[in-house]
Amino acid sequence: MKFTEEHLAAYHRDGYVVVRNFFSEEEISLLYKIATEDDLISKKSYDRTDASGLKTKLALWYSLDESLYSKFARSARIIEGVEQILGGKAAHYHSKLMQKEPRTGGAWEWHQDYGYWYKNNGFLFPEMLSVVTALTAATKENGCMQMIRGSHKMGRVEHGFSGEQVGADMEKVNEALKIMPLDYLEMNPGDTAFFHCNILHASAANLSDKPRWSIITAYNLASNKPYKDIHTSSYTPVIPFTGDLLKEEVISISDDADFLEK
């Protein structure tokens, strides 16, 4: 699949777009196998507690290396779509492996990514987005992502803490839910969603017996250099990877990938 003009129009209208079968079953099976068996990822993963005390596990890193994770983040099919959206050269801000385990995986409270990136990281312009690819099936039962369709047009809203997470002003969220549709992003492995940094989104706890794993990569317009953040990747243009993920040597992520430590 390719990111098309129709996908671009839907993204700007709704604040997100899902591209079905963006990665093949074989590509996702390989990436999921590597992720679940990766000792360094396991070691670098940490918990985020939601308002009810349940925990979601994630690993987050900034730097690109020669690992399959980085080749995935640089995949030409993703970068072409990101650069269509941003209207210029894309930079890799960070990647994260989300691990919402059966029956214990916590919720993600309502938030905008830019609510955090603006205040804490010093990005002056919302010329940023995230790309999430399902590594396992994402359903309502296991806590798939929820989007308030069109809420990116509200601009940035104020954020505070909810549990250990940054959450949006719930007065604004509740008013948005009165006039905008709530969409559940149910996705099969390989489905990929591109979403605006100002769209209000959340996910419920995983109380099912199925895991929900996904990989999310955040991108920035390379010219949108932050004044606080120290990670050079956020304004270094990405060199797209045009090879075949299935034919690449499987190289594990390095300890130098600049992991976020809790």
The most distant pair of C-alpha atoms in the chain lies apart, rounded to whole Å, by: 50
Name the superfamily (CATH) of residues 5-241: q2cbj1_9rhob like domain (2.60.120.620)
- N-term to C-term CA, the chain: 36
Amino acid code (one letter) for 34? I
Euclidean distance between CA atoms 150 and 31, whole angstroms: 32
Closest to 163 measured CA to CA, from 56, 262, 52, 261 = 52
Instruction: Indicate yes or no: pTM above 0.85.
Output: yes
Q: What angle do CA 260, 41, 37 make, to 5 degrees?
A: 170
**Contact call for residues 129 and 214 (beta carbons, < 8 A):** no
Amino acid code (one letter) for 145? M
Q: What angle do CA 81, 87, 90 make, to 5 degrees?
A: 65
Please report the pLDDT score of residue 165 as a whole number: 64
Q: Structure tokens of 72? A: 């995935």
Please, is 227 exposed, middle or buried when counting C-beta atoms within 10 Å of its C-beta (0-12, 13-18, 19+)?
A: exposed
Residue 241 DSSP class: B
Please report the pLDDT score of residue 194 as a whole number: 98
pLDDT tens for the chain, 262 residues long, are 899 999 999 999 999 999 999 999 999 999 999 999 999 999 999 988 777 788 889 999 999 999 999 999 999 999 999 999 999 999 999 999 999 999 888 888 899 999 989 989 999 999 999 999 999 999 999 999 999 999 999 999 988 765 566 789 999 999 999 999 999 999 999 999 999 999 999 999 998 999 999 999 999 999 999 999 999 999 999 999 999 999 999 998 999 999 998 7
**Contact call for residues 257 and 65 (beta carbons, < 8 A):** yes
Euclidean distance between CA atoms 191 and 24, whole angstroms: 9
Gyration radius from the chain CA atoms: 17
Please report the pLDDT score of residue 162 as a whole number: 59
Dihedral (C-alpha) 83, 88, 92, 98: value to the nearest 10 degrees? -40
Domain ranges of the chain: 5-241
Please report the pLDDT score of residue 99 as a whole number: 94
